[in-house]
Structure 1
């Protein structure tokens, strides 16, 4: 084999001349791929500009909460009006929601008139409730008073605005369908209140569509893949303290304890490790079973807050949780069977560890005696 010394000493430099006795690092080197360097610099400039724009203009609340018809994020204290406590998105016009759920519909749910509320409205049992738009223009009412009046200022409207409201053109809209808080959006329940609907018809209101489409239209938007991905990203952002503790600090602390136990309880540590590992796997699997609703009554629900226990809403997150529970079941079975299969090897390892411990003790004692004699 040819030695590397002469090769390194005669390596040609960037100008084509052969230099003797000079290492590769000391040669006259220069950038040969200028085009890639320009692209790389442009990439970093674009990343800096994009990051600056995101930090200055971005709003993490958009990952969780919806937008009203003005483009404000529900729950945003810097919005106009102030929406710091109004976190729930509510669609005012039920006919727009119905039309957005039809096939080949020209009206999209994103363009339907929606506002942000403190809670989801429900129909009255003996009269007709109203939800009115944000108080502005001719309506001389503060936002706090609007909230205290349960979003209803229909009685203060002029005859023209009342007639406009009866045509579902605002500023006030009837509460005909009950709604529940599903991931911070008020999803209509396609069961119209007979009392509210009768009052609406007696007042001369336009026809309101009653169909399951009004339920499915909102549910389809809430359960879309993009909406689910946003919620997952928001969950990671909210759970960073838990990830820091459980993913960094706690494992470091437990690893130190584990090393100390190996040092002082070396014979029993193989069994302790295997048993604790299997207990952990079984516990995590049972936790998934609980949250998936397969055991007990503590299943995760997309409905936030109190609601009718007989009304259920499906969600992609529940399907993902079921898949994770099945995966954990397979991992648990493999882990338990593997532990049973290596029992013989664990016994052999325990004997070896016991012998090594005795040897270390005897060797340490002999060293102490030898040192004392010296």
Structure 2
């Protein structure tokens, strides 16, 4: 992967993807053309005639770099007619736009000859620069009118068909700039919000060491309370808006965020969603209350393990940094590979002389992908235009290889983190005397064992997941290519295959995670550990399904509660509703003074909510791994030991009490 990256870095140039390229392969705004950042097309009509094929074959007209787009309209025949009347009008040729090596003022050719030989543009219109391309101003004005109409029309009845979608996408660009401005204005407050989220998550995990059971029940009640309040608030908003004509209309996807909050149907949908989630939660709590007690005991054991090894909470930073570095390396490699290779040129038109009749026949059809050399001075070189960079036939295969390696390395980093955490938590569980038998540096010891003894197993397990993921990518690619064929049988088979491989990936991730736990416990290879984990789970399938899902549900509630707390605080701050909620005037004054001016106050709120969920997931991933390790060790403990002096139980007293188990030896755990 590093070798392919070095190959791409040595041959690629991302500027080729960022800056427009003229007919000779020169980058406008770079190198010798640094003072010419805009690209002008000699004949835009020729581009329009190509339709969608212009993306593959290129525009069949000469393209040159210019310092600025023309701000006036010019036609060749006007200049030609003026020169026929008076030779002094030749000085007006300075308005012509020609190839780099053509000087219209000193050329002996007439204007007509310059145009026919494609030395100069036959016409140009007043234009504006859009993404480095000179686009007619009339089109820009039409776009502005469409955007204004899109913004000012409530029901969008005046916009139909392509006009509506064109206005939508262009309007999205405007909203994107406003969102970017909001992020720039509030980035420091967003950062403070994410720091608060990190502190809340850290405190939540630490507090659970002592009052895990109480925290779980508090979390459950908070979760129920949040969704109960959400249901009440949504229903209240709906009842206030349902009879107001200004709040009626269909919920449609739009970039204007205020349109959602001003519609009664939005609050109706939210009230239904909150009510359904609330009802399902209450039903699960009623029927699974006994299993919740066992899950709480497992969580208590994991909490004590986390409290005894507090560094485990900071471990996710290491895999996260490695994954970010890997992703940026892969992204940079992909960009450099996409821009690697030499310039490719294609012949875009042909002129064939009929020797019998002496008449020249010009074929308007584009002849694409015929190699040609634009450096000559003959007629054939004038028909040769730049097509693209990247003539290397192996580039596609290298990109595919890098994608596969991205999957493999990402899964490798995840697996390394799981084996390391599992080793640390397993060392805690299998320490009979937790205070004295626990290693002094369990995380570093576990990491050393993973790197020294288990890299092969980690690489093999992550390879299996990577192969399944790349097969899913291939299936998506095949499905995309076959969309144009209306074959119901093929579509059915592809959907079945995609579903099967999705299920296979989920199953293998679950099996791999438990295999890594047994690798950390016994030190055996991947295949042996995977087999043992599978049969261990199979022998305790009911207990595994119930306890695993209940603990997963409780941890999910914990994450959502943290997200809800931080999200509500962010909403109160950025919405300016602090005065109606916080009665202390000094706090409200502080919040009002430091609240930035925003176009959409929901932008920083959404960013903080998403960031909080990511941060909470990082902390709870450690907790989840601790719960899974403790639970699997608990199952092994039940099968290997019987509570006798020779084979005492290593589980906590809470778990032994729930299961009616006791140790016959008088030992303090």
Q: TM-score range by the shorter chain?
A: 0.3 to 0.5
Instruction: State the TM-score, normalizing by the size of structure 1.
Output: 0.35
Structure number with higher helix proportion: 2
Considering Cα pairs closer than 8 Å and 6+ residues apart, tell me whether 1 or 2 has the greater RCO.
Answer: 2
* TM-score, with structure 2 as normaliser: 0.22
